[in-house]
């Protein structure tokens, strides 16, 4: 509805942090519980940000949504795959976060081993650089034979594309779309 203000999951002026994967993993799991926003009187107050893994895309401003979908989600969805993390991780300690980080790193290695073998500075890459490196197209270009073989059995890409159904008569029925596997 026009004129209705949405309730965003992040403050109006929020910017996704540019950080490495280890720091990003903490944001993914724990959010930013001590995030501060400026108040009208020049002070500040705490406005916690929920764990990034719980973001609802429709409740993010469009610019942040795009950055999140392209630059954060691919990396951390890959890391989180098969870890069976509970929704509430508020009781997790640093040791548990580190254990899940190592397990998630192994998931990345399974997806794109070429990064670990041929990119010596991968440890300092930003989250967005990781998301680019694990893209289907990047793995096809640079991946090991195993990486490429895994693409065939993995459930990637993360987004399903839609394909026009050419069997329907679009002049009488309008466009018909079907999901591609």
Q: Please tell me the predicted confidence (pLDDT) of residue 167.
A: 46
Name the pTM for this structure: 0.79
Q: How far apart are CA 58 and CA 63, in angstroms?
A: 12
Q: Please tell me the predicted confidence (pLDDT) of residue 163.
A: 53
Q: Please tell me the predicted confidence (pLDDT) of residue 154.
A: 62
Tokens of 126: 């930003």
Of the candidates 93, 97, 67, the one whose C-alpha atom is nearest the C-alpha of residue 79 is 97
5-34: pLDDT as tens digits: 457 789 888 999 999 999 999 999 999 999
Q: Please tell me the predicted confidence (pLDDT) of residue 5.
A: 46
Q: Are 55 and 14 in contact (CB under 8 A)?
A: no
Instruction: Please give the share of the chain, as a percent, with pLDDT higher than 90.
Output: 70
pLDDT at 177 over 50: no
Averaged pLDDT of the chain: 84
23-78: pLDDT as tens digits: 999 999 999 999 999 889 999 999 999 999 999 999 999 999 999 999 999 999 99
pLDDT at 83 over 70: yes
Bridge partner residues of 32 (DSSP): 49
Domain regions of the chain by residue span: 21-179
DSSP secondary structure, 78-124, as one string: HHHTT----S--TT--HHHHHHHHHHHHHHHHHH-HHHHHH-TTGGG
Distance of CA 51 to the CA centre of its chain: 12
86-119: pLDDT as tens digits: 888 888 999 999 999 999 999 999 999 999 999 9
Q: Please tell me the predicted confidence (pLDDT) of residue 168.
A: 41
């Amino acid at each position: 509805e026009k004129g209705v203000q949405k309730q965003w999951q992040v403050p109006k002026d929020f910017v996704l942090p540019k950080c490495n994967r280890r720091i990003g993993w903490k944001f993914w799991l724990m959010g930013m519980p001590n995030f501060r926003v400026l108040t009208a009187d020049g002070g500040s107050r705490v406005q916690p940000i929920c764990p990034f893994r719980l973001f609802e895309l429709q409740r993010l401003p469009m610019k942040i949504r795009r950055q999140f979908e392209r630059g954060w989600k691919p990396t951390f969805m890959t890391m989180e795959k098969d870890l069976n993390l509970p929704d509430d991780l508020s009781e997790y300690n640093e040791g548990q976060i580190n254990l899940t980080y190592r397990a998630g790193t192994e998931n990345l290695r399974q997806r794109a081993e070429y990064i670990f073998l041929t990119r010596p500075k991968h440890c300092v890459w930003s989250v967005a650089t990781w998301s680019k490196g694990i893209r289907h197209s990047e793995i096809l270009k640079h991946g090991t034979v195993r990486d490429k073989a895994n693409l065939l059995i993995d459930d990637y890409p993360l987004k399903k594309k839609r394909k026009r159904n050419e069997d329907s008569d679009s002049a009488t029925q309008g466009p018909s779309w079907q999901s591609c596997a």
